[in-house]
Structures are given as C-alpha cells and as structure tokens.
Amino acid sequence: MLKRNTLKLIAVSALSAGAVAILAACSPDAAKLRGVDITGADYARDFQLTDHNGQVRSLQDFRGKVVVVFFGFTQCPDVCPTSMQELAEVKQQLGADADRLQGIFITVDPERDQLGMLKAYMGNFDPTFLALRPTPEQLPALAKDFKIYYKKVEGKTPTSYSMDHSAGSYLYDPAGRLRVYHRYGSGVAALTDDVRTLLLPAR
C-alpha cells in the first residue's frame, strides 16, 4: 500500500510540474536551473500562516533568503521525512551561505499536526526550519493557490488515517519570487545547485 501511495504522489507531482513547464522557455536562467523553471507563475505568491512558534508568517519575513516550501504531514512514513532530510543536507552543502536558506514545511493534516508536534518534527531535521499550520478552513484555498493535491485516506480507526498529497518543493528567490519546482526524488545535488543559482546577485 505504501509503495502504491508513493508512486501516486510522484505521479501527481510530475503532473503538477508538467502543467507549468511551458514557462521555462521564458526565463533567462532556464539553462542553469535543474528543476522546473516556473519563473513568472501567477500562483503560490504568498501565504499568511501560523508557524510552530505561534507567529504568523509570510514570504516577506524571509526576504534575502532562498525559501524552499514543501507540503506534507508529520505522520508521513517516507516521502516527507526524506524530503526534509534532503533539505537539511542542502543546507549543510551551502557552507557559508547556509543561513540564507529557509526551509518551510506546511502541513496538509492540521487536525493532527498541532503546533507542538510540528515544532518537534522540525527539530528532527534542522532547528531553523519552520513548520506552518493552516487551519482546516484555510487549507482548501491554500491548496488551490499552490496547485497541490491532498486527500485523507481512511484508516482502521478515526485517528489512524493517512494523507495522499503532492510531493514536490517550491523554491523562491531572495526577492520572494517563485522560481523553481523540484519533483520528489530530484536529489540533494540538483536542489543545492538551484539554491546556489538563486543566491547569485541579480543581473
């Protein structure tokens, strides 16, 4: 079952990325970016969500940094922890520029993922990464704006359900502009290269 769900998540992510790949030809950095170049996309431009410390956050808070946004949930068995661990490795690869990367994890399971749980979850990867929790009322509109998929998969008990969801990462440049989409499984090297590219001074 887990293998089937993982394949489904990858397929959903690939479809999402493919829908915007046509934008890549319009970007001056297309030849340098290893993910899907979505520069100029008219969606996923911002958020107003509570972080695991209880503070309302938006992209404006992270100006000057490359922001990597991933949607998932804390009880995800494989895709989510793998993605967050890879992002932590990217930060290590950046060396002196490590502080210019901001990892953001947005839960698609606000019913179970309360703030304390999200804070503990981020502690498994990097203490500077932030988890954001949309309310159950905010989540549908947020998912529509970011063009991500999520669906509850019922379990044997009311609290043992799982969540199918898109498995990819959005990259924003230091000016807060959406630039790149990385499919799940792109790897640490490709993600590191694109973060470094986005950190270069604007030409």
Binding site feature residues for Cu cation: 76, 80, 165
Residue 124: beta bridge partners? none
The Cα–Cα gap between 42 and 61 comes to 20
Residue 51: beta bridge partners? 132
Under 8 Å CB-to-CB from 64, ≥6 apart: which residues? 100, 174
What phi and psi values does residue 45 have, to the nearest 5 degrees? -85, -20
Q: Rounding to the nearest 10 degrees, give the CA dihedral for residues 6, 12, 13, 16.
A: 180
CA-closest candidate to residue 64, choices 101, 106, 95: 101
Q: List binding-site positions.
A: 76, 80, 165
Residue 198 and residue 178 in contact, taking contact as beta carbons nearer than 8 Å? no
Residue 162: beta bridge partners? 153
